[in-house]
Amino acid sequence: MTTEAVKAAKAAIGLPGSRATIPTPALVLDLDAFERNVARMAEHCKVNGLGIRPHAKTHKSVTIAKAQIAAGALGVCCAKLGEAEAMAEGGIESILVTSPVVTAQGIERLMALNTKIPELMVVIDNPENVRTLAAATSEAGRILKVLVDLDVGLHRTGIRPGGDATELAELIDAAEFLELRGLQAYAGHLMHIHDFAERREKSLAAMKMLGEQRDVLKAKGMCCDIVSGGGTGSYNIDPEAKVLTELQGGSYIFMDKQYNDVALGNGASFPFETSLFVQMSVVSNNTKNLATTDAGFKSFSTDAEPPVLFSGAPEGASFFFFGDEQGGILLPDGARLPLGSVLTAVTPHCDPTVNLYDNYYVVKEDRLVDIWPIEARGKSA
């Protein structure tokens, strides 16, 4: 979005009907729904005796991170070092980097970040990484806090539970400038299981592995004060196990089609609302029962199903990708959308969709009330 378009939108903030002036395609955040989602997760964790350390990979926004912390969050998780750097630059002081940092350049940046904020933690899943981080921290002369990343079935990162994980923890514990704080485990392969009973059974089995590893570390006299993990799909399951000390949910603040589908199959209350949308405009309507919008492949993450229309289109209309820059709207017989019509759609997958935009256009009903920058957009390294 051009600077001039953003300036024009800023001039309309607070005016009645100003939502319609947002330059499209745009990422739109319903402020009321967002704030209810933040408050509901904070209360859920409080009632269950859990901390909440939400994942900033979902929103990539310092403003949103600060809102979560103001509601009681311990800090944030960041999937990538670049995200953590952006959060720290914005004043976030407690950050867990949830992916291993292993390259020489990455470790150099990690050492620099460790001097800038009071509470930085990183995960390790490999003895080689322990040795390189031990050497770097020794040279820097500054302690780095560490969690062992445990693989409970996803196999993306993490070390398998049992002897290998225990030996890794012992290696960390023996390093002069590495401070073992506990464990991390993320069962991402379970988050989108639609059947609640199946999701519950498998999530609790993952928690059992995590709890057993925690008990081993504690029995050997090693610190395991932090047990971090879980997610939006298991937020109301994991507390049953009484293993986690902090929950890493991220998508609950926005909800997308994938998690809305999970909510439909949920056996208990799933209180989070859709708050994030892509707003688009009709740019062509010359063909019967068809309209073309200005939001195509470049406006949505395409790793999931097509977006679901939320507002502005007649019942029975559907979205399809019509090119890099355009989206198509199939209309019921006889229906027509005038040029300039404003539509919104639910994102198929919120995290990578957010990464396509520079700003959130924050709305209350028909008013644009603020514009929040997405500082960590594109921070993939």
pLDDT digits (tens, 9 = 90+) for 211-221: 999 999 999 99
What pLDDT sits at residue 213?
98
Q: Are strands 276-284 and 342-346 parallel, antiparallel or unpaired?
A: antiparallel
Low pLDDT (below 70) residues in the chain: 1, 267-269
What pLDDT sits at residue 2?
73
What pLDDT sits at residue 267?
59
